[in-house]
Amino acid sequence: MTVVIVLVVIAFILFVYAATGVRIIRPFQRGIVEQLGKYKETVDPGLRFIMPLIHRLQKIDMREQVIDVPPQEVITQDNVAVSVDAVIYYEPTDPKRLVYNISNFILAVTKLAQTNLRNVVGEMTLDDALTSRERVNTTLREILDDATDKWGVKVVRVEIQRIDPPNDVMNAMHEQMKAERNRRAVVLEAEGDREAAINRAEGARQSAILSAEGDKRSQVLEAEGEAEAVRAVADAERYRQIVVAEGESEAIRSVFGAIHDGNPSNDLLAIKYLESLEGIANGTATKIFLPADMSAMLGSIGAIGELFSGDADSSGDSGTAPLPPPPT
């Protein structure tokens, strides 16, 4: 009975010993195994067995971590005391160096960030610090990444959360900002007035140009219309004169042809000549125009007189008196 109890006790102790040697490492963890206080190996995630009292397993979280750097007073290049705080994001890269190269990584990186934050912001003016946070973040991240590389840690990024100047500086900045906004408002209003004046002047100029062009176009069209009318009247007059001249020419050709066709004698021509003179003498004009060749005219009259005298002699005394001489 005593042997059975001893065996049960031994089995229980062995079970407890084996159970304490079982370790489960999660996917985001790595295990540091030490054997009798000496580094043995780094194990990956999964079910692991160690020998209690001989081996020791330390789990290291490999996920990205965040550290809040407390606010601190920093004096800028233009002697303004500001309160600055930051946030550091890092991730372990080598569990062995993170465990054995630094005893308190959180404290070390916090102090390192505070020291370098004073150096970086102290080399800048207040305006540059407020407007160049990205440059401060980049510079501080590079410094911390180089310093923590031997600790098996990579600094992913550093973000400046707040930069708080003193109250009097904040009030002065608000007044400056207000004055700048007022100045911009005045400038914008002046530019608006100038643009409006330019637009009005440009509109008036365009209106005057269009009005002048309209008047010129109207005058040109009116002149062209008058020219067309004069041209049409001239064309009509020319056509009338051509038609009249053609008619007179045709009449003269007809009369001349009829005269030639009738073969008139000199006696007939002389009689017609006298009839024409009679028509001229019966006019209302105070002047009488006579032919320049008086001898030819008198000869013709004499021939006509002899003609009529011969006719009278041959026919006998008919009781008619001879024609009187033509008036001079």
Percent of the chain with pLDDT over 90: 23
pLDDT for 264 equals: 63
Mean pLDDT of 64-86: 89
Which CATH entry fits the domain spanning 65-165: 1.10.10.10, 3.20.20.70, 3.30.479.30, 3.40.50.2000?
Answer: 3.30.479.30
Provide the pLDDT for residue 328. Answer: 41
Domain extents for the chain?
2-61, 65-165, 170-263, 266-315
Which segment of 8-17, 30-39, 120-129, 302-311 scores lowest on mean pLDDT?
302-311
Which percentage of the chain shows pLDDT scores above 70?
78
Look at residue 318 in the predicted model and tell me its pLDDT.
41
pLDDT digits (tens, 9 = 90+) for 85-105: 999 999 999 999 999 998 899
For the segment 2-30, the average pLDDT, to the nearest whole number, is 82
Residue 64's CB is within 10 A of a number of other CB atoms, namely 13
CA distances from 22 to 10, 50, 104, 311 (A): 19, 6, 28, 184
* pLDDT tens by residue, 150-192: 999 999 999 998 888 888 877 887 888 888 888 899 999 999 9
- CA gap 74, 239 in Å, rounded: 109
Identify the H or E element spanning 159: strand 153-164
323 confidence band (pLDDT: 50, 70, 90):
very low
